Structure 1
Amino acid sequence: MEIEKKLEDIFRYVGIDFGVNEKLRGENLLGIKIGLKARDLLIIYLKIEKMFKIKIPEKAIVNGEFNTYWSILNIIKNEKGIK
């Protein structure tokens, strides 16, 4: 799917290759297994909004939904109206 390829490209930009590490897609991005820095998550956030032309809802950040590959993919799909 095109959305997943673009999202994987964004993660590769910060050094995470989910194509190689598919098992990590459900892990917390700031957790020990992936170990992203907060600034990397901010870069991902900004690149997603620009690339997909969406506004990530504030509640998704506050509620901790912007924390795994899968949850971010779901946020993008919801904002794009894709099921």
Structure 2
Amino acid sequence: MNCEIQVEQILLEITGVNFEKNSELKNMPFFGKKLHINPLYMVLVLMEIEKEFNIHFPEDEILKGNFNTFNSVMILLNGIMNKK
């Protein structure tokens, strides 16, 4: 299974948002008016992605806002995976 599908599944299980069926949501902020995802759920998403891929997201990248949309998460994840 590719990374994008796995992340879509993690987000669906934790947040209930189906990014596969609603690809227009992939550039929308998780905490914005359209998605309005609970920040606690995003902590769980972050932890589950780290566990699933055996990686660690750098705190500074998260603080820069690089974990605020589906697409930004994928860019960050792919960058980390390419360094492995």
Q: Percent identity?
A: 28
Shift of 1:19: 1.1
Task: Compute the RMSD of aligned alpha carbons.
Answer: 1.2
Pair 1:23-2:42 in alignment: no
Counting matched residue pairs gives 82
Please give the secondary structure, in 2, of the residue aligned with 1:16.
coil
Letter in 2 for 1:10: I
Aligned-pair CA distance for 1:44: 0.6
In the aligned structure 1, how far is the partner of 2:2 from the partner of 2:8? 10
Give the SS at the match of 1:81.
helix
Deviation readout 1:56-82 (Å, 9 max, x if unpaired): 011111111110000000111011017
Aligned amino acid, residue 3 of structure 1: C
Amino acid at match of 2:8: E
In the alignment, structure 1 residue 46 sits paired with structure 2 residue 69: no
After TM superposition, where is structure 1 displaced by more than 2 Å over at least 4 residues in a row?
none
Partner of 2:12: 12
